[in-house]
């Protein structure tokens, strides 16, 4: 039963990858004719078959649902807000007369368990103000911070809550 379910999510991943590759092909070729569509579907099939062992199964990504889509929209909104904040704070630091920075390394606990969510969270940490993710592990993330207080802001912040809500959305 367990193996069967795993196979099921893997087939769904393959279908999703195939559809997104076809859409990508159609946008790149910028006009729709039947030979373009057939060649695109053949090429997408070859790419999916070649990459079958790279696809995500259910231990690595959250299953899709409407609640998950809403949680993902919340994540995107918060990441964009963080990018804008990070840039204005960097402008203040870099164009100031003296560089008021005190760089140091630190660790924060890893709140997530699935691999795809962990890498998305590490990318989002790189884009938040004053932090840069360096090493991602199963139970901690090593972070380089420009000032120590940015590291404290990251722990249990709004971004982490959004990601935890996204990971729990399929239960």
Partner 1 sequence: MWTIIRDICVVVFLLGGAFFYFVGVVGLIRMPDVFSRIHATSKCDTMGAGLIFIGMIIWQGFTMVSLNILIVLIFVWLTNPTAAHYIAKSEYMRRQDKPKSLDEAGD
Interface residues with partner 1 (CB under 8 A) are 24, 27-28, 30-31, 83-84, 86-87, 90-91, 94-95, 99, 101, 103, 122-124, 126-127, 130, 132-135, 142, 144, 146
Nearest distance in Å: CB 87, partner 1: 5
For 56, residues 6+ apart whose C-beta sits below 8 A from its C-beta are: 9, 10, 13, 115, 116
Q: Classify residue 169 by its DSSP letter.
A: G
Closest CA to 142 of 158, 129, 131: 131
Compare residues 87 and 168 and give the one whose CB is closer to partner 1.
87
Compare residues 103 and 109 and give the one whose CB is closer to partner 1.
103
Nearest distance in Å: CB 130, partner 1: 7
Nearest distance in Å: CB 106, partner 1: 12
Contact 49, 35 (CB under 8 A): no
Compare residues 2 and 31 and give the one whose CB is closer to partner 1.
31
Helices (H), the chain: 2-29, 34-50, 66-94, 115-127, 148-154, 158-167
Nearest distance in Å: CB 115, partner 1: 14
């Amino acid at each position: 039963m367990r193996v069967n379910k795993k196979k099921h999510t893997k087939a769904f991943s393959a279908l999703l990858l195939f559809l997104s590759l076809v859409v990508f092909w159609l946008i790149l070729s910028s006009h729709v004719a039947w030979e373009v569509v057939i060649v695109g579907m053949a090429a997408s099939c070859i790419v999916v078959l070649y990459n079958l062992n790279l696809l995500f199964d259910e231990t690595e990504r959250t299953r899709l649902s409407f609640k998950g889509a809403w949680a993902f929209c919340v994540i995107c909104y918060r990441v964009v807000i963080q990018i804008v904040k990070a840039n204005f704070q960097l402008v203040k630091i870099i164009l100031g007369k003296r560089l008021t920075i005190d760089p140091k390394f630190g660790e924060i606990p890893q709140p997530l368990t699935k691999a795809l969510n962990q890498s998305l969270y590490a990318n989002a940490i790189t884009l938040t103000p004053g932090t840069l993710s360096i090493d991602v592990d199963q139970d901690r993330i090593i972070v380089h911070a420009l000032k120590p207080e940015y590291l404290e802001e990251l722990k249990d912040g709004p971004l982490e809550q959004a990601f935890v809500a996204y990971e729990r959305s399929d239960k």
